[in-house]
C-alpha cells in the first residue's frame, strides 16, 4: 500500500515536469484569448496559430515544428483592441492662432507577421503617423471649421492613416479629435472678455426689443379700445331713439314719463338747483337764492 501511495504522489509530481518538457520541445502549445503565436525556423515564418485553445504544432506544420525550439522561435502577439490618446498636438489655424489638439484612436493587430517583421517599432510609427496626419489635416483651417467639423475631420485622419497602418499589421478603428483648445493664455482671456461683452450686448438688445414689443402691443390695444368706445358712443343715440319710438308706439304716457325721468336725471347731473311748487298752492314764492333774486329784481327794474 505504501509503495502505491508513493508511486501515485511521484506520478503526480512527474506530470508537470513531463508537460514542461513537451512544451519546451514544441509538442503542444496553449493559445490564449486575443493571442497569436508566430513560428519561425531558420529566419523564416513557417506558420501562425491564432485560435484559442490547445494545439499541436507538429500536426499543422509537420516535422519542422520539432526544430523550432532549437533553430527557430515562437512569438506571442497580443491581438486585443488597444486605445491611445495623444494630447496637446500643436496646429495653427488659418488666422494664425496656435491650437492644442487631442486625438483618440483605437487599433488592433490583425496581421501578426507584418506586425513583427515589417516595422521595428510599429506602435511608435503608428502614433507618429496619426499625429502627422492630424496636423496636416487641421493646419491652416478656419478656426470655426476646426471647432465645429471635428467628426468629418476625424474621418479624414482615419482614411489617411489606414493604408500605411495596414502594411504594419494594424487595423485602425475609430479615430476622433476629442479636444481643440487655445494654448495662449492671453488669447483665451481676450476671447473670454469679447464673449462676455457680446453676451451683455445681446442681452441688452433682447431686453430693449421686448420693451418695444410690449409698448407696441399696449398702444395697439389702447387704439382698438378707444375705437370700439367711439363706435359705441356713436351708436348710442340710434339705439336710444329706436327704444323710445318703440315705447311711443305702445303707450305715449310711458314715453312722457321716461322723458321726464331723463330730464330730471339731466338736471341732477348738472348740479342745478330745483324748486318744487305744489300744484294747488296760491302763494307766490320767491324762487332761487338772494343773488338770483337781486338779478331778477334788476332785470325787472331795467324792464
3-class DSSP assignment, residue 119: coil
Measured distance CA(200)–CA(126) in Å, rounded = 47
CATH, domain 81-183, list 3.40.50.300, 3.40.50.720, 3.30.360.10, 3.30.479.30: 3.30.479.30
Residue 132 confidence (pLDDT) above 60: yes
Q: Could you read off the pLDDT of 195-253 as tens digits, one per residue? A: 899 999 999 999 999 999 999 999 999 999 999 999 988 888 888 888 888 888 888 88
Instruction: Indicate the pTM of the whole model.
Output: 0.54
pLDDT of residue 138: 82
Calpha distance 196→202 (Å, rounded): 10
pLDDT at residue 303, as a whole number? 37
Mean pLDDT of the chain: 83
Q: How far is residue 294 CA from its own chain's centroid?
A: 91
C-alpha cell at 127: 502614433
Q: Tell me whether residue 252 is exposed, middle or buried, using C-beta atoms within 10 angstroms of its C-beta: 0 to 12, 13 to 18, 19 or more.
A: exposed
The C-alpha cell of 129 is what?
503617423
Query: Per residue in 1-46, pLDDT tens?
Result: 677 777 778 778 888 888 888 888 888 889 998 899 999 988 899 9
Contacts 24+ apart (CB under 8 A), 48-53: 48/112, 48/113, 50/79, 50/112
CA distance 44 to 116: 12
pLDDT number for residue 285: 53
Q: Measured in Å, how far apart are the chain's first and last C-alpha atoms?
A: 172
Higher-pLDDT residue of 182, 157: 157
Distances (CA, A) of 7 to 1, 10, 16, 17: 10, 5, 15, 15
Amino acid at each position: 500500500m505504501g509503495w502505491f501511495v508513493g508511486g501515485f504522489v511521484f506520478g503526480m509530481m512527474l506530470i508537470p515536469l513531463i508537460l514542461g518538457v513537451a512544451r519546451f520541445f514544441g509538442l503542444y502549445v496553449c493559445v490564449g484569448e486575443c493571442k497569436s503565436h508566430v513560428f519561425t525556423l531558420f529566419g523564416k515564418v513557417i506558420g501562425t496559430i491564432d485560435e484559442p485553445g490547445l494545439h499541436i504544432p507538429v500536426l499543422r506544420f509537420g516535422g519542422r515544428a520539432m526544430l523550432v525550439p532549437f533553430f527557430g522561435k515562437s512569438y506571442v502577439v497580443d491581438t486585443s483592441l488597444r486605445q491611445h490618446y495623444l494630447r496637446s498636438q500643436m496646429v495653427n489655424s488659418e488666422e494664425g492662432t496656435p491650437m492644442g489638439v487631442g486625438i483618440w484612436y483605437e487599433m488592433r493587430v490583425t496581421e501578426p507577421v507584418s506586425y513583427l517583421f515589417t516595422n521595428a517599432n510599429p506602435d511608435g510609427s503608428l502614433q507618429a503617423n496619426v499625429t502627422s496626419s492630424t496636423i496636416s489635416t487641421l493646419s491652416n483651417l478656419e478656426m470655426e471649421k476646426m471647432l465645429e467639423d471635428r467628426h468629418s475631420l476625424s474621418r479624414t485622419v482615419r482614411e489617411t492613416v489606414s493604408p500605411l497602418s495596414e502594411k504594419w499589421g494594424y487595423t485602425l478603428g475609430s479615430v476622433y479629435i476629442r479636444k481643440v483648445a487655445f494654448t495662449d493664455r492671453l488669447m483665451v482671456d481676450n476671447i473670454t472678455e469679447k464673449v462676455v461683452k457680446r453676451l451683455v450686448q445681446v442681452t441688452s438688445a433682447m431686453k430693449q426689443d421686448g420693451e418695444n414689443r410690449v409698448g407696441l402691443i399696449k398702444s395697439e390695444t389702447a387704439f382698438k379700445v378707444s375705437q370700439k368706445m367711439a363706435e359705441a358712443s356713436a351708436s348710442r343715440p340710434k339705439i336710444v331713439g329706436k327704444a323710445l319710438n318703440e315705447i311711443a308706439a305702445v303707450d305715449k304716457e310711458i314715453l312722457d314719463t321716461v322723458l321726464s325721468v331723463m330730464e330730471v336725471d339731466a338736471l341732477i347731473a348738472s348740479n342745478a338747483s330745483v324748486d318744487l311748487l305744489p300744484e294747488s298752492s296760491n302763494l307766490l314764492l320767491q324762487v332761487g337764492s338772494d343773488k338770483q333774486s337781486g338779478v331778477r329784481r334788476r332785470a325787472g327794474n331795467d324792464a
